[in-house]
Amino acid sequence: MGKQLSVSVVVPAKNEAENLRQWLPRLISQGGYDELVVVDDGSDDDTSEVARVHGARVFRHEQSLGNGAAIKKGFREAHGDLVVFMDADGQHQPEEIPGLLDAMKENDADMVVGSRDQGGQASKARHLANKFYNRFASFVTGHKIEDLTSGFRAVKANKFSQFLSLLPNGFSYPTTSTMAFFRSGYSVIYYPISVQKRLGKSHISPLKDGIRFVLIIFKVATLYSPLKVFFPIAVLTFFLGLGRYLYTYLEMGTFTNMSALLMVSAVQIFLVGLVSEQITALMYKEK
């Protein structure tokens, strides 16, 4: 019970050589970890070399497989009982790692997420999107979620490993892991962090961000409780059909195809949600 838990820091990186040169010395100076794992996700600069010079265990994807794929690779290679994930672009501060780990210990939490304020968002649009994610996810889970998409977090390795197969290869691994922890009844807490503006060009594009926005909404619903999202939509659709029927019946004395379509669609939406709920339950069923 009194065993000192080992800590691994896992950093996914793509073309971040200049940023790594600046903040890796701060991480080394800070200490408080047992190993540093950097996953080079198909960089065409000297990201790998910079990481090795600073004592990291480096694993390289010959071609870019995605941020989530790099996270999964880094986690599989890490040996720590606790794993800290952080971005390579210099936004996350190494000096905040002890705070995350202390919060985990004090609250006996399974995951601690670094919660950003508005000043830590890349843009106003991203801030508004993240605010919507947080509120929607809070509604679905019934838990207050302060930062759904933060990539700076500490986890217990034995808990995180249970959901590795669920993680996507793209950028939404934070969303997936948070929802999976809540769904399985593991404790998730938030620790306020400061975030600096990244140096260099972001790998996120407005088009990809827009698609990501929609996908995260669906992912939040399907990973936690699909019926909680499908049922209100089904009810709304049914009452639209019923309202349409009453209007056309009173005005024209007819029952239109649109009314029938809306009410039948409501039943189908409900059934899809019901089946999705059962699939979600099976997905988290203990083996």
Higher per-residue pLDDT: 170 or 160: 160
CA 7 to CA 27: how far, in whole Å?
13
Amino acid 171: pLDDT: 73
> Quick check: 119 pLDDT over 60?
no
Q: Which one has a higher pLDDT value, 210 or 138?
A: 138
- Both 100 and 197 in one domain: the answer is yes
Based on the structure, what is the number of domains in the chain?
2
Q: Are residues 146 and 252 in the same domain?
A: no
Given 205, 223, 241, the domain boundary residue is: 223
The answer as to whether 11 is a domain residue is yes
Query: 50 and 120 share a domain?
Result: yes
pLDDT at position 277: 86
pLDDT at 1: 40
**pTM (2 decimals)?**
0.80
Residue 69's pLDDT is 94
pLDDT for position 254:
82
More confident residue, 84 or 284: 84
Q: Provide the pLDDT for residue 166.
A: 84
Q: How confident is the model at residue 287 (pLDDT cuts 50, 70, 90)?
A: very low
Q: Check whether 200 has a pLDDT greater than 60.
A: no
Q: Is residue 2 part of a domain?
A: no
The predicted pLDDT at position 224 comes to 77
Exposed/middle/buried for residue 41 (C-beta within 10 Å: 0-12, 13-18, 19+): buried
pLDDT tens-digit readout, 45-97: 999 999 999 999 999 999 999 999 999 999 999 999 999 999 998 889 999 99
Question: What is the end-to-end Cα distance of the chain in Å, rounded?
Answer: 26
Q: Return the closest-CA partner of residue 86 out of 62, 56, 45.
A: 56
Query: Is the same domain home to 185 and 276?
Result: no
pLDDT tens readout for residues 244-260:
899 888 888 888 888 99
Q: Is 83 among the domain residues? A: yes
Cα 98 versus chain centre, distance? 22
**Of 13-22, 134-143, 207-216, which has the strongest mean pLDDT?**
13-22
Asked if residue 226 has pLDDT above 70, the reply is yes
Average per-residue pLDDT for the chain: 87
Q: Which domain holds residue 114?
A: 7-223
- Rounded to the nearest 10 degrees, the angle between the axes of helix 226-252 and helix 257-283 is 170
Q: Which of 223, 239, 265 is the last residue of a domain?
A: 223
Residues 231 and 138 in one domain: no
In a domain, 178, yes or no: yes
Sole residue written with tokens 């936004």: 91
Q: What is the CATH number of the domain that holds 172?
A: 3.90.550.10
